């Protein structure tokens, strides 16, 4: 099976320091790939390369088999039309209602009538279990609700690939669990490819098809959760040993 997204020896420096030191990663259609690792070490930077927001110093980023680095603005716009993004802070517009926030991509990128837009938005809000919040403003919502609105907006154009940048940042355990349940439901229903950057290892292991560990600027490996936890790679082994207690603790909380 050919990868939907492929990073080939991607390198990037900032201020003379090489942050990404030869990233090699393949992401497959319909699967959930999670990138884990220490905070502030380049996980979100990988997402920005895939989104075409940053170009690598060397290496290639292929999406649908096409090199993002040499695309024209028109080609890049077309590729991005297949993307949905849920940012850390949900990135909602405070002056707009929930409905208008979710409707924004439809109004900007399609020729749908307002009646058609209303139908689509209401369907996505219902999928998030927040259909009664369409007239509220972001300031009136809890952190978990804001994330759901952000996800509804990310999914409103039915993208092929959805990117999640630390989706549970700032949420307590209960709200994090809610977000993951919504993610699982939407991914199962809509069959999109998911790329998640996360530090929330206990939950992510249960949702992922593949787990990739970024350590010192290199992807150590990208494996199924089961193979990841039994890997003989010493760096992965150390990461697993540090996080297994969290996984067991999480299972006890849920049980």
Question: For residue 15, what pLDDT is reported?
Answer: 87
Question: For residue 168, what pLDDT is reported?
Answer: 85
Fold classified for 1-82+195-255: Rossmann fold (3.40.50)
Query: Contact, 8 vs 63, CB < 8 A?
Result: no
Query: Contact, 43 vs 214, CB < 8 A?
Result: yes
Question: For residue 106, what pLDDT is reported?
Answer: 96
pTM of this structure: 0.89
Question: For residue 41, what pLDDT is reported?
Answer: 84
Q: Mean pLDDT, consecutive 10-residue segments, the chain of 255 residues?
A: 95 93 97 91 93 95 94 92 87 94 95 96 94 93 92 96 90 87 91 91 84 96 94 93 60 42
| DSSP letter, residue 192 | -
Nearest-CA neighbor of 122 among 138, 137, 136, 103? 103
Indicate the domain borders of the chain.
1-82+195-255
Question: For residue 251, what pLDDT is reported?
Answer: 46
Question: For residue 253, what pLDDT is reported?
Answer: 39
Question: For residue 244, what pLDDT is reported?
Answer: 65
Residue 154 burial class via C-beta count within 10 angstroms: exposed 0-12, middle 13-18, buried 19 and up: buried
Question: For residue 200, what pLDDT is reported?
Answer: 77
């Amino acid at each position: 099976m050919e990868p939907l997204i492929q990073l080939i020896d991607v390198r990037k420096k900032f201020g003379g320091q090489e942050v990404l030191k030869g990233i090699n990663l393949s992401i497959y259609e319909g699967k959930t790939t999670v990138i884990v690792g220490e905070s502030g070490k380049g996980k979100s930077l990988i997402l920005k390369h895939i989104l075409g927001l940053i170009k690598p110093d060397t290496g290639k980023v292929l999406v649908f088999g096409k090199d993002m680095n040499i695309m024209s603005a028109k080609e890049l716009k077309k590729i991005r039309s297949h993307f949905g993004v849920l940012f850390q802070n949900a990135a909602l517009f405070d002056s707009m209602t929930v409905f208008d926030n979710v409707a924004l991509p439809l109004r900007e990128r399609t020729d749908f009538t307002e009646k058609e837009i209303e139908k689509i938005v209401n369907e996505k809000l219902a999928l998030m279990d927040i259909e009664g919040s369409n007239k509220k403003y972001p300031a009136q919502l809890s952190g978990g609700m804001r994330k759901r609105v952000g996800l509804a907006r990310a999914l409103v154009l039915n993208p092929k690939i959805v990117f999640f940048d630390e989706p549970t940042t700032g949420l307590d355990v209960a709200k994090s669990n809610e977000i993951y349940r919504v993610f699982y439901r939407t991914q199962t229903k809509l069959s999109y490819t998911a790329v998640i950057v996360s530090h929330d290892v206990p939950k992510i292991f249960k949702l992922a098809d593949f787990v990739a560990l970024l350590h010192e600027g290199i992807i150590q490996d990208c494996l199924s959760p089961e193979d990841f936890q039994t890997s003989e790679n010493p760096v992965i082994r150390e990461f697993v040993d540090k996080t297994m207690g969290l996984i067991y603790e999480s299972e006890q909380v849920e049980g």
